[in-house]
Structure 1
Amino acid sequence: MKQINRKFFQRLGALMFLAYLSVSYALAQSSSGIDQATTEINSYVDPVSNLIIAIGAVVGLIGGVRVYIKWQSGDQDTQKAIMGWFGACLFLILVGVVIKAFFA
């Protein structure tokens, strides 16, 4: 009976050791994959952030022209238009800056 228990525990120990090795190998692979994904995402941050800031600048220019046209035509709602366009422009520029700061 002792011989059977000893062999059982030896096999169980060997099986647990193999399970430990396979789990540690899988974790090592996943950490290298995470590192590779992090590097790839960081390579996209600067171009995307610059693109968002450029879109914010274009929105600001378009908004300025549209507000000027409204103002010249004598529209009473120019202040609302100014706030809307300025808010959109400010939002886009801040998103670009925050993305750079968050991933830097």
Structure 2
Amino acid sequence: MKFLLSVCCCLITAAALAQPGIAEMQQAKQDLSNSFFSAFDFALVLAILFGTFGALQIYHNWQMGEKRMDAVVAAWFFASFFMILAGPFLRALFGI
């Protein structure tokens, strides 16, 4: 009985080591890390564009005499802030 149990354990271990796809998983991780940095740079570029476009729109509204711009300022600020924080969050999420 013990011999049969030990043989089964050895076969299960051998089957676990013979799993296909380990090289493919390493390749997928490498591809993700290569494309992630370009996505991270893209998020920073979007944050710069949101900040610049928001600043121009706020300045224009201010010059036109609009009195209550608190919501507009907060919306553009937090849009830029979200894009800046999206990169580190994704980096931590994927472990890159």
- TM-score bracket relative to the smaller structure: 0.7 to 0.9
- The structure number with the bigger radius of gyration is 1
Which residue is 2:62 aligned to? 71
Instruction: Kindly indicate whether the alpha-carbon contact (under 8 Å) linking 1:59 and 1:85 is maintained by their aligned counterparts in 2.
Output: yes
Q: Kindly report which structure 2 residues correspond to 1:1-104, keeping only aligned pairs within 5 A, or say none.
A: 24-26=17-19, 29-102=20-93, 103-104=95-96
1:7-28, Cα deviation, whole Å (9 max, x unpaired): xxxxxxxxx8xx86666433xx
Instruction: Kindly indicate whether the alpha-carbon contact (under 8 Å) linking 1:46 and 1:100 is maintained by their aligned counterparts in 2.
Output: no
Q: Distance in 2 between matches of 1:33 and 1:60?
A: 40
**Identity across the alignment (%):** 19
Q: Distance in 2 between matches of 1:71 and 1:33?
A: 55
Q: Which has the higher helix share?
A: 1
Q: Distance in 1 between matches of 2:81 and 2:16?
A: 49
RMSD across aligned positions (CA): 2.5
1:50-103, Cα deviation, whole Å (9 max, x unpaired): 101111111100000000011111112211110010010100111023233444
TM-score of the aligned structures, taking structure 1 as reference length? 0.70
Which residue is 1:13 aligned to? none
The aligned length equals: 89
TM-score of the aligned structures, taking structure 2 as reference length? 0.75
Question: Is there any run of 5+ residues in structure 2 with no aligned partner, and where?
Answer: 1-7
